[in-house]
Amino acid sequence: MSKFSLLPVSSLLAAINDTDAFVPEHWANESVAILEENMVVANLVHRDFENLFADSGDIVNTRKPGEFTAKRKGVNTDVTVQDATATNIPVKLNQHVHVTFLIRDREQALSFKDLVSMYLQPAVLAIGRHVDKMVLAQAPRFLRTDQYQAGSLGVDASVASILATRQKLNDNKCPPGNRNMILSSKDETALLNLDIFTNAEKVGDQGSALREASLGRRLGFNMYMCQNVCSVTGTSDTVTGAVNNSGGYAAGVATMTVNGLSAAIVAGTWFKVAGDNIPHRVVSTVGAGTPTSITFLPALKSAVVHTAVITIYDPGAVNLSAGYAAGWEDYIAVNGFTAMPQVGQFVQFAAAGAMYTVIDATSTTILLDRPLDVTIANADVVFIGPNGTYNFAFVRNAISLVVRPMAVPRAGSGATGAVANYRGLAVRVVWSYDATKQGLMVTVDMLCGIAVLDTLLGQVMLG
């Protein structure tokens, strides 16, 4: 493979003429430049990169640094020596993200610049969106059932919810520097309607926030809007009951008497209750087929009144007789749903199992944000999370995006390609001639894996 350095896009285009339209190094360089410029979230997390060729399925180890403890030294005592430790976190390179397209013979007369705008740029942008979606899909894994969540499902973001998120990170001893807040378009709009974010006198930015509709850095966070924030607004399979206690329940309660329910509730089912509006997971129930009491995690964040509506998100089931092995990366067949799980909705296959996020769905199948961590069997329960928006606040070391370059095709294989590396990203471009379709088959791809490094360094802000 030839060695080359990445040129700025403007210099690259100026240097290439029509005869260079099919030089693979140019395509690879241009691809990685477009990708790096257009990703939002993937540029904010820890990136583990080494310039070593890898294959899909390979395991690499990224590291979570250990903590030191300050010690007091007496006048006549020695210093206390502490070991510098780091925890190895194995990450499987099981996300082979690609876009493949055909450039037919009649279109190959176009210059490199024309081909980039017509084909390459849309292809790489699609990869960038997928990688951002893959990173943001980890947000539900930061929903901790041992603490309250900031904000409320179905309620727009506010100064209060941002400050509550900040407090949660402070309580978890998350470093205060370079905290990021990724907002849904809905919640960004809500915040832009507040004077505290756009009034030039209050913000002190000479009106740029108002002119550019940009939140910038506010309340200790670098704020970004991303359309890939986990957000569920459509119809989900639900049943409703109600709180059945004349005095209602105060914040901190984790068991409620209920009525209006006429079917058993499986432990692990998610629900929300009006007036509180955070995700709760059922631990146990009393009353079997006519539940009269629910015990759940986390406890109520806010007081709820008598007759407050409880919305329970009905689970479905895995629908494949052979089940699915650990590492399965394709669509998963499910049934038992009237309304299928939606893109952006989190799912689980065990009462307290790993959380996944749906990134695509058909009328009978769902595609998850990452391959399965464990085997799932036919008829295993598929729990779904409550509707709402899951904005995400974090620092760089909360999540690691692990990227490795892939080898180019061997000489004489009938295909050619090149790899470009830049700032922790590696993009490969491969093409071959398809005689049946009369054109060049081009694949732009990257090999990566995702790992949550520390759930104390990120916080979901509900909206």
Note the pLDDT tens digit of each residue in 125-183. Answer: 888 889 999 999 999 999 988 888 899 999 999 999 999 999 999 999 999 989 999 99
Give the C-alpha separation, 396 to 367, whole Å. 26
Angle between helices 24-38 and 121-136 (to 10 degrees): 40
What pLDDT sits at residue 284? Answer: 97
Higher pLDDT, 263 or 78: 263
Count of positions (residues) in the chain:
463
C-alpha to C-alpha distance for 422 and 120, rounded to whole angstroms: 17
What average pLDDT is seen over the chain?
86
Q: Compute the average pLDDT of residues 309-315.
A: 97
Is the bond preceding residue 341 a cis peptide, omega within 30 degrees? no
Q: Can you point out the beta strands (E) in 314-411?
A: 316-318, 332-335, 346-348, 356-361, 365-368, 381-384, 388-394, 399-404
pLDDT at 421 over 80: yes
- Confidence band, pLDDT 50/70/90 cuts, at residue 113: low
Contact in structure between 62 and 91 (CB atoms under 8 Å): yes
439's enclosing H/E stretch is strand 439-452
Instruction: Specify the 3-state DSSP secondary structure of 332.
Output: strand
pLDDT for 85 equals: 61
- Report d(CA 408, CA 455) in Å as an integer: 37
What is the amino acid identity at position 201?
Answer: E
pLDDT at 333 over 50: yes
Residue 39 has pLDDT above 90, yes or no: no
The answer to whether the CB of 187 falls within 8 A of the CB of 223 is no
Query: Kind of pairing, strands 415-422 and 356-361?
Result: unpaired
The pLDDT of residue 69 is above 90:
no
Quick one: average pLDDT of 232-247?
95
With contact defined as beta carbons under 8 Å apart, do 93 and 402 qualify? yes
Give the residue from 348, 368, 403, 451 showing the smallest Cα distance to 53: 403
What pLDDT score was predicted for residue 248? 97
d(C-alpha 64, C-alpha 2), whole Å: 34
Q: Which backbone phi and psi does 28 adopt, to 5 degrees? A: -65, -45
Beta bridge partners of 427: 420
> CA-to-CA distance for 405 and 448, rounded, in angstroms?
9
Concatenated DSSP letters for 262-331?
-S---TT-EEEETTT-S-EEEEEEESTTS--EEEEES--SS-B-TT-EEEEE--EEE--TT-B-TT--S-
Do 336 and 184 touch, CB atoms closer than 8 A? Answer: no
- pLDDT (tens digit per residue) in 361-376: 999 999 999 999 999 9
Q: What is the mean pLDDT of residues 307-323?
A: 97
Dist. CA 112–CA 16, nearest whole Å: 7
**Does 21 score more than 70 pLDDT?**
no
- CA separation for the pair 248, 269 (Å, rounded): 22
Residue 314's pLDDT band (boundaries 50, 70, 90)?
very high
Provide mean pLDDT across the span 307-314.
98
CB atoms within 10 A of CB 331: 15
pLDDT band at 423 (very low <50, low <70, confident <90, very high): confident
pLDDT at 1 over 50: no
Say whether pLDDT at 73 is over 80: no
Q: Is the dihedral of CA 442, 448, 449, 451 positive or negative?
A: negative
**Is pLDDT above 60 for 202?**
no
Q: How many CB atoms lie within 10 A of CB 135?
A: 27
Closest of 311, 302, 307, 368 to residue 334, by C-alpha: 368
Report which of residues 124 and 283 the model is more confident about.
Answer: 283
How high is the pLDDT of residue 156? 94
Residue 447's pLDDT is what? 93
Q: Is the pLDDT of residue 112 over 80?
A: no
Amino acid in the structure at residue 321: S
Q: What is the mean pLDDT of residues 354-362?
A: 95
The residue with tokens 């093409």 is: 431
- Compute the distance between CA of residue 140 and CA of residue 374 in angstroms, rounded to an integer: 18
